[in-house]
A and B are shown apart, each in its own frame.
Chain A
């Protein structure tokens, strides 16, 4: 397994290299001028040119790439054009909100969707199964922002239970931290509940048709034990895979939720950086997302060993 781990970790290097080159080139080839944005609306062409010069954007692309890549090799993601702060520091500031939101969303989603999926498979074709499938279609179809506005209106404005927006760090107090995350995490979890419940249902349904389930039932095992110990355990690999992909997407792609609920996370940082054509920040966050994606996939692959004794690396 250690060989597998080492091989996979080494394989991340070319992946990150390709991402680095692609992101760098795409940013330089797409329209938009960071200098014009930084200078402000009333700036003139000379001022913009001076700023472009000070940012080093008038150098040949190869030279710019060489400087950036050299810094990258020493672990330096560069300095944001827009915020004049180190990109690593900016990512560090935004990590806690995003990871908190992703963790709580995943917790909600898993705790709700897995039992629902198992139950639907167990009662295949019944009203509960049909209701869950209906909910699942709705969960996929309703845009996150619409759901967010509805929840804000009902939970925050009508009932007054939770705040409309904002984020507080864990250090500010656990309840304050939690109550600002509950609504966004619930909003975001709906689509993941729909996705994971569907996959769980399909996997468990397949497992329930296997011979070992019939044997377990013939042995007189309680149905709950059959479902959890035998069906769910054997259906776990696709479920964990989809949860893993979900977590990776959550870390990189919760832009809308972060915007509506005013959570200063990585998604919001990415959008701001793109709008401001803040090349170093965009390059930094994309590299970070790629690394996180590769790492989560690796963890998912490793988890197969524990979930399915037939899998060995």
Chain B
């Protein structure tokens, strides 16, 4: 053998060995390999409301408060807090030992800057900051919020578990214009983001933050001890084909599928190496009207739709797996403090005859309902077909328009008349925490064209009740107000709740430690 051949053989052996080494790392119990529900593109969870950006935020940032599995707000970075008797001065003390990934301590100045940026983007944050007079930092571990008047949702806002979550960032990063994306990704959370290994559309990598000091309480929702038992978490962003995801999990190439398709759940349950969990709060389907245009500018027409839209047909068609769905007569996630059946009779006791009568009495002029159907979003794509059928049975003319989800997202933001590209109705799904109180629930913002969310419902009474809810500090009275808001919302038909479903998660049996969550959190997990 000549020297060059020897060198070639040695090089080949070395590359083979290197390959084998990486292959071994794939099965490493210290590496958790996750297939998230979508692609991660935007790394600023304050700039966008996208759930993937929120989940990325939970990996690397910490929060002042969190919400447990029963929607109770609990402290997270905060050690203790006090409220003045008039509810206008809130003083918070941070836990000791909090530090950012660059080693610098978390100070009250970081907190104030982070809250100020969040308050410019998030709907609930914006609402909170209409009450805020000023914030200050009397000590590095203490900050105060001075309110102009009493506000009943300070803790609910600071502890809100879903987009936009008030994550705490270093001041120099949080000082970034709220409408520009941040460039640095340093938090004080349980994992550190490995930016140079981030490849959009391919993978996102996080390593354990060795300096993170978890709380002592057990994890629940977004609260409690965020214990990390693995060294590295890899999000596989390239694996987007539903069938291939299942095959990869079955072969053990990945450890967790964040959101397997409903139709794969029975097969996954039969696999002895896989466990299917439903640990998150249920998601709620919803039909949303465009209140700006005929015929849905007429409350009586909207009521006819409420009567026609029994929830079961939607759930059966879209979810299919009986144990994964349930009807819910509430506009707030069922099982959470504000949920109630109040006012829901028109829908929960719905029947087609009543819907037809209501439509006849409404003076409906036969306008064809432009119903937008997203063809590429498996999680909701069957709902519009059911809606179209029920609408036709009730006596509506329906123009069911198929499009991709991103076209729908662009079109629903347009207020244009129907003949200029406008729309009448679309259907969507909300994660539980996004709709579990009247401020967070965007469909209940009824300030007409001033309101934030698409559809632009207008009702002065709901606006007034929401204002009262924002100012109320007594829990029992808040619940009553939430009920009154819901009763009125059913009366005027702001939107139609279409039942709830549990999003399944599938994991290899050797991954343990899942707990009741309010999002997709990857702490407390062990890989044996």
Contacts and interface: CB of A to CB of B under 8 A. Distances in A.
A119 to B, nearest CB: 33
Interface in B1-57: 12, 15-23, 39, 41-42, 48-51, 53
A40 B163 contact: yes
Interface of A: 31-33, 36-48, 50-51, 54, 82-85, 90, 93-94, 145, 148-149, 152-153, 156-157, 160, 163-168, 172-177, 179, 259-264, 268-269, 272, 275-277
B199 A276 contact: no
Contacts of A163: 251, 253
A270 B272 CA distance: 38
Contacts, number: 167
Given A43-B48, A264-B199, A264-B201, A33 B409 contact: yes
Given A33-B409, A40-B48, A45-B413, A174 B16 contact: yes
Interface string B290-328: 000000000000000000000000000000000000000
Contacts of B428: 41
B48 A173 contact: no
A173 B12 CA distance: 9
B16 A175 contact: yes
Contacts of A277: 406, 410
B16 A263 contact: no
A170 to B, nearest CB: 8
Contacts of B42: 38, 82, 84
A164 B12 contact: no
Contacts of B248: 164-165, 262
A44 to B, nearest CB: 3
B48 A46 contact: no
B244 A32 contact: no
B18 A173 contact: yes
Contacts of B403: 31
B398 interface: no
Contacts of A166: 236, 238-239, 253
A172 B179 contact: no
B411 A31 contact: yes
Nearest to B452: A44
B180 A173 contact: no
Contact of A165 (B51, B239, B413, B453): B239
B404 A41 contact: no
B241 interface: yes
Given A40-B49, A42-B434, A260 B179 contact: no
A312 B243 CA distance: 52
Interface in B410-433: 410-413, 415, 421, 428
A313 B151 CA distance: 82
A262 B16 contact: no
A174 B19 contact: yes
A113 B382 CA distance: 43
18 contacts: A32-B407, A36-B413, A40-B48, A40-B49, A41-B49, A145-B241, A149-B244, A164-B244, A164-B247, A165-B248, A172-B19, A174-B15, A174-B16, A176-B20, A259-B241, A260-B243, A261-B244, A262-B240
Nearest to A268: B201
A167 B19 CA distance: 12
A40 B122 CA distance: 12
B181 interface: yes
B264 to A, nearest CB: 13
Nearest to B254: A165
Given A157-B247, A168-B22, A173-B15, A39 B410 contact: no
Given A40-B49, A42-B442, A172-B22, A33 B413 contact: yes
A295 to B, nearest CB: 25
Q: Which of A82, A164, A260 has the most CB of B within 10 A?
A: A164
Which 9 pairs between the two chains have the least Cβ-Cβ distance?
A173-B19, A44-B452, A33-B410, A40-B49, A176-B19, A264-B202, A173-B18, A42-B49, A262-B239
A37 B53 CA distance: 13
Contacts of B406: 32, 37, 275-277
A177 B22 CA distance: 11
Nearest to A40: B49
Contacts of B335: none
A196 to B, nearest CB: 27
B200 interface: yes
A124 B236 CA distance: 49
Given A44-B451, A168-B22, A262-B248, 12 more contacts: A32-B407, A37-B406, A39-B48, A83-B201, A163-B253, A166-B239, A166-B253, A173-B21, A175-B15, A259-B240, A264-B201, A275-B406
A99 to B, nearest CB: 16
Contact of B251 (A148, A157, A263, A276): A157
B381 to A, nearest CB: 14
B338 interface: no
Contacts of B453: 42, 44
B48 A176 contact: no
A204 B239 CA distance: 42
A83 B19 contact: no
A241 B60 CA distance: 52
B411 to A, nearest CB: 6
A102 B415 CA distance: 46
Contact of A275 (B50, B181, B404, B412): B404
A83 B181 CA distance: 11
Contacts of B22: 168, 172-173, 176
A262 B19 contact: no
A173 B16 contact: yes
Contacts of A275: 376, 404-406
A83 B180 CA distance: 13
Contact of B53 (A40, A45, A46, A149): A40
B452 A82 contact: no
